[in-house]
Structure 1
Amino acid sequence: MTAIDLPEAPLVAEKAFDDSVALLRSVGSRELACERALRIHTPLPTLAMSRWESRQPGFAAASDAARRLGFAPAIRPTGGRAAAYDETCLVFDLVVREDEGIDPQPLFASTSARLAGELADMGVDAHVGAVAGEYCPGEYSINARGAIKLIGTSQRAVRGARLLSGVIALGAVDHLLPVLNAANAALGLDWDPSTFGGLAAEIGRVDRQKVVDALIAALAE
């Protein structure tokens, strides 16, 4: 059975992350009687950084820069590197029940392949694989034309369950670049802003509900 939560109102980072962890623990403890749970939400402006980044000397400077640019700095429960998003994006959390000690790679591989397939059905030249210079680099990024990162994912496991989270920009991303530039500079991390893009640049006008439907099709079963 799948639980799907699609709140309409944008969620602040702290509540969104608390909800993600609560969902993860509910599935892992069997409190929620389903094998897979999916929630999709619209975020408020956030610079989501990992716990690794929170321990770096430049974390305070990155957080200050985010605030000046109107983005709330927050530490997300999953790994990876800094990601910036706002109401023009969608964030998804997939939780799957699993035994302890399972390799995370199969979930990365299967979900990325299905996400790329759904984007391809929407007209995107979608592929799975890292783009040189991308933000939050990873081999299971979903890209367009092998050149533009569209979706990044990261994971966290607890006893009995695993969380895979991701974000996709629907429209233009120019307004997200300054905060990513500032954060990566403060943290001493290199990236190429030209590798970051949204769906609209690939397929024209984007219908938000169709993207939600595509995420559900890719992740709910």
Structure 2
Amino acid sequence: MNNLTIPFISDTWRLIDHTTFGPDFDALKSFAYDDTLCTFVGQRDGLSTVRAWVHHNTIVLGIQDSRLPEIEEGRAYLAANGYQVVVRNSGGLAVVLDDGVLNLSLIFKEEKGRSIDDGYELMYSVIKKMFASYQVNIDAYEIVGSYCPGSYDLSISGKKFAGISQRRIRGGIAVQIYLCVKGSGSKRAELIKHFYEKAVNGKETKFTYPTVQSSTMASLQELLQAEFSIADVMRTLLLTIQNEGAQLTIQPFSEAEQSLFLENYERVVSRNEKALTT
């Protein structure tokens, strides 16, 4: 993918598609999958990988969110609205996942001399190329008032539709993005806004949580005024990768990968339980 200006990604990518697993697909498994892939790519010469997944009605909290003074009230509010709650194993704050949100990971080997921003720029380049035909400017800067704000929030006309994060483990890097493909971005923002209101309840907090404004967020469907499904965006992603000269290959998990995945999943589940009970 030399045209994406980040030359350290290999020309052959492994594709793992977890977008159609349905409502029973546990979000904690995604953490375990990416950690497993990071380890094999970083230490055992596994292929650079693009993994895509969808989780239904799940709120992913950051560790700091899980320590809010009235977190049980916040969790009860989310549960009453039909959402399960998990705590991620990396940085960041609360985000909404549902069947209109596509998640992507680009997983590759860490190389000397490459900055953290190189990984962010790779994902940003991929997204811009995917939606280039719509002739809109996709910007990357922090959208104040959005949930889980960061310097690589992706937006169109000031409205955020995606956020990028990174996780590094054992020589592997996972650059992850959530794309609000369809549905109402403002309704998702309202959900997180009310979560913080319930979980804070006017009490002192140990970190500055975002003051969420629903008007700062939208879906691609809303911003581009176009109808498309998760499957449509997946096709666009794969065509974009292939058009940049990369090859895609599908490989099932090896026995070694499956074994490490099960170990990682047990660890992630245990960590999540501790985060939600302390």
Q: Do both proteins adopt the same fold according to a TM-score greater than 0.5, normalized to the shorter chain?
A: yes
Letter in 2 for 1:164: V
1:171 aligned partner: 182
* Bigger shift: residues 205-214 or 86-95: 205-214
Deviation (angstroms), 1:100: 7.5
Letter in 2 for 1:205: E
Give the whole-Å Cα distance in 2 for the aligned partners of 1:41 and 1:143: 21
2:133 aligned partner: 121
- Going from structure 1 to structure 2, the CA distance change for 1:51 and 1:26 (only over 3 Å counts) comes to farther
Give the whole-Å Cα distance in 2 for the aligned partners of 1:101 and 1:55: 36
- Going from structure 1 to structure 2, the CA distance change for 1:27 and 1:123 (only over 3 Å counts) comes to same
Misfit runs of 4+, over 6 Å: none
> Unpaired runs of 5+ in structure 2?
1-11, 201-208, 247-278
Report % sequence identity.
20
Give the whole-Å Cα distance in 1 for the aligned partners of 2:169 and 2:211: 31
- Going from structure 1 to structure 2, the CA distance change for 1:202 and 1:123 (only over 3 Å counts) comes to farther
1:66 partnered with 2:88? no
1:33 partnered with 2:68? no
Is the 2:189–2:214 contact (alpha carbons within 8 Å) kept by the matching residues of 1?
yes
1:191 partnered with 2:212? yes
SS at match of 1:152: strand
SS at match of 1:154: strand
Deviation (angstroms), 1:99: 4.2
> Unpaired runs of 5+ in structure 1?
none
Letter in 2 for 1:22: T
Deviation (angstroms), 1:102: 5.7
SS at match of 1:47: strand
Q: CA RMSD in A?
A: 2.5
Q: Give the aligned length.
A: 218
- Going from structure 1 to structure 2, the CA distance change for 1:189 and 1:3 (only over 3 Å counts) comes to same
Is the 1:46–1:71 contact (alpha carbons within 8 Å) kept by the matching residues of 2?
yes
Deviation (angstroms), 1:144: 0.7
1:5 partnered with 2:19? no
TM-score (norm. length: structure 2): 0.70
Letter in 1 for 2:222: A
